Structure 1
Amino acid sequence: MEVTEDIWELRLYVAGKTAKSVAALSNLKRYCEEHLKDKYVIEVIDLLVEPQLAEGDQILAIPTLVKKVPEPIRKIIGDLSNEEKVLVGLNIRPAKK
């Protein structure tokens, strides 16, 4: 059976450069580099610039991270400072050391 390497498609919804939004992006990048090296894409959507995009993913709070691929789609709200909660929420297995 062939194993394909999934590319994780992550979408981070923010509202401007608030402290929480900046922290969420920085935390997310750190986790991705540590656990998904070269296997992820982060799309940052600023709802101050493109508010209409909130509807598609039913965004009710900011910042919100949406994992689009691989399925199932998952959402995590907040600054993503709790690494364990984020990894469990995204269903990422810690990288083998």
Structure 2
Amino acid sequence: MSKKYELRLYVAGKTLKSVTALNNLKQYCEEHLKGEYVIEVIDLLEQPQLAEGDQILAIPTLVKKVPEPVRKIIGDLSNQEKVLVGLDIRPKL
């Protein structure tokens, strides 16, 4: 059975960092998790109350909800190796 990744990306508007983070995340997911992921983007300018639940202190922040353990990665996600390790994804050889 394949793992389904539930990923939540917290951003604040359409800043360069936020757009870069989303683009990087989509690219990594397509490369390594094709068909096995869901990305939820939460704009804290529109829904600031949602930051509290995941204890978001910086933007952009990626939260991996499923599979556990919950992990957070802060920044524009440009370091692919760090993101894959953070999400516990083994690169496909």
Tell me if 1:83 matches 2:51.
Answer: no
**What stretches of structure 2 of length at least 5 have no aligned partner?**
none
- How does the TM-score come out when normalised to structure 2? 0.98
Aligned partner of 1:25: which letter? L
Cα separation, 1, equivalents of 2:35 and 2:79: 22
Count of residues paired in the alignment: 93
Partner of 1:93: 90
Cα separation, 2, equivalents of 1:78 and 1:45: 15
Cα separation, 2, equivalents of 1:46 and 1:5: 29
* Alignment match of 2:6 (pick from 6, 9, 21): 9
Partner of 1:28: 25
Aligned partner of 1:84: which letter? E
Partner of 1:41: 38
Shift of 1:55: 0.2
Aligned partner of 2:58: which letter? A
- How does the TM-score come out when normalised to structure 1? 0.94
Larger CA Rg, structure 1 vs 2: 1
Aligned partner of 1:92: which letter? I
Partner of 1:54: 51
**What stretches of structure 1 of length at least 5 have no aligned partner?**
none
Aligned partner of 2:61: which letter? T
Aligned partner of 2:32: which letter? H
* Poorly superposed stretches of 4+, deviation over 3 Å: none
